[in-house]
Amino acid sequence: MRDYPKVICNEKAARSLRAGHPWVYGEETKGPEGPYANGDIVDVYTEKDRWMGAGFINDNSKIRVRLISRNTNDRFEEAFWRRRIEHAVAYRRTVMGETDFRCCRLIFGEADSFPGLTVDRFEDVLVTEVLSLGFEVRKDMLYRLLREVLAAYGLQVRCIYERNEAPIRTKEGMETGKGCAYGDPGDGHVTITENGLLYDVDFIEGQKTGFFLDQKYNRQAAAKLAEGKTVLDCFTHTGAFGMNCAAAGAAKVVSVDISRDACEQSRKNIALNGLQDRQSVLQADVFDLLTALANGERPEGIPAGKHPFDYIILDPPAFTKSRETAKAAFRGYKEINLKAMKLLPRGGYLATCSCSHFMGPQAFEKMLREAAADAGVALRQIEERRQAADHPILWGVPETEYLKFYLFQVV
């Protein structure tokens, strides 16, 4: 007999749940009548007393209930969570293969029915982010189970490091911070291999969990066009797109980032792979640099000529993290894409992407069409891609589809 507190959701929430979405907002619910604590598991019913699922409740959050199961037989004991972790790990081993499984996202929140939990694997280091209170109060058990499940595959986890710095944690009633939850982080660095290239990952001070794994195969796709090209790699972060192009035979790559730390990390990675003769790093604001190049300026380190680059890669950070700022983000994306299209010669190549869920595929394509029209060019699409399969898109949960990546020839 189930004895979880009972939350009643309205018809709007019920329709969303029936469509596969796992969230119930506070204004859509009433109850429970009995005692409960934030982070507890509750049963969600419709106003007509139909059971919709079980999930974590948190009155501090705009998302009051996050579903974790739609199976009435589930009991949320340790064995349940072990199975859930085993399923997530087995999926990665299948879709990524043995080599890429060594560095991948092991748990991707709602897409793995772990709402608010992210776990990235960098060889023997796991980096986590916990954004829901339900997992915050259970994380010690989950970390132990992760170690045990991975040990069955022969991996002894050296360190589990938490990067719980996102401001959303305060809205969930949790403190922000970072630190080692298990093992020895050493100097906070680990060397990984992706697409045959070495990277030094700073999992303590680097952005997010230290490295963006979701672009793994998009980097391969971009590199296929690079042989003999002069490449401008914008918002380079750790130098990854540029390195893939340099290793694929690009004549010259200039990687640009506004962050001094990112530039230093890029130079370290370039040196690790012996690509210094083909790839350089420039610290600059990409918006300002593209404007200067469009005006005919050629800062130090930029090739001469009317069209100094015949291949431009735009991999910006998320310009919007809310619907309220989506219009401003649209303008930002359009500005950099418009200038890139104007800079490229006819027959040049453009790789462009957005990692914001709130800039959906239709809006992003609308922006690209407007930019191309304003630049007086046409776009010949080569590929349209999304994030790597270790960041799966769960249909019914649009928040899991966030990365858009396009390859074009400008004609």
Annotated active-site positions, please? 355
- Asked if omega into 32 is within 30° of 0 (cis), the reply is yes
Q: Where in 158-267 does DSSP place strands (E)?
A: 159-164, 177-183, 189-194, 197-202, 230-234, 252-257
* Amino acid residing at 103: C
Strand partners, 408: 350, 381
CB 41 within 8 A of CB 134: yes
Count Cβ atoms within 10 A of the Cβ of residue 64 and give its class: 0-12 exposed, 13-18 middle, 19 or more buried: buried
Distance CA 157, CA 276 (A): 33
Between helix 260-272 and helix 240-247 the angle, nearest 10°, is: 30
In the chain, the N- to C-terminal Cα span, in Å, equals: 66
Joined tokens for residue 94: 């299948």
Distance CA 77, CA 250 (A): 53
